[in-house]
Amino acid sequence: MTISREDIEKVAVLARIRLDEEQIPALEDDLGNILSLVDQLRAADTDNVEPLSHPLDAVQRLRADEVTETNQREAFQAIAPATEDGLYLVPRVIE
């Protein structure tokens, strides 16, 4: 697949990228190579390939869920401007 000079100029305008005249031929070649690679990838037969959630079947190590801090709820709520039934009260911002 090839990309035309007009397409490059149009995309440059949409992306608000300023291109010099001498940059356009090199960009045509580079984008043409990228599009040909995309065509090669599209041609690959992936009908019998199941999608992977992760390519390495890695398992994430999780730390033990243990309490490491002391409960300071009363101390924090004692200095809060407004609380009720153990909850912090905040001003309404949406009506």
Number of folded domains that form the chain: 1
| Domain extent at residue 16 | 5-43
Q: Is residue 94 part of a domain?
A: no
d(CA 16, CA 13): 5
Identify whether 28 is part of a domain: yes
Please tell me the predicted confidence (pLDDT) of residue 56.
81
Does some domain include residue 57? no
pLDDT digits (tens, 9 = 90+) for 43-76: 999 899 888 877 787 788 898 999 999 999 999 9
Question: Tokens at residue 26, please?
Answer: 């090199």
CA distance 36 to 79: 65
- Give residue 85's region: left, alpha or beta (phi > 0; psi -120 to 50): left
pLDDT above 80 for 39:
yes
Is 36 part of any domain? yes
Written as six digits, the tokens of 43 are 């041609």
pLDDT on residue 60? 81
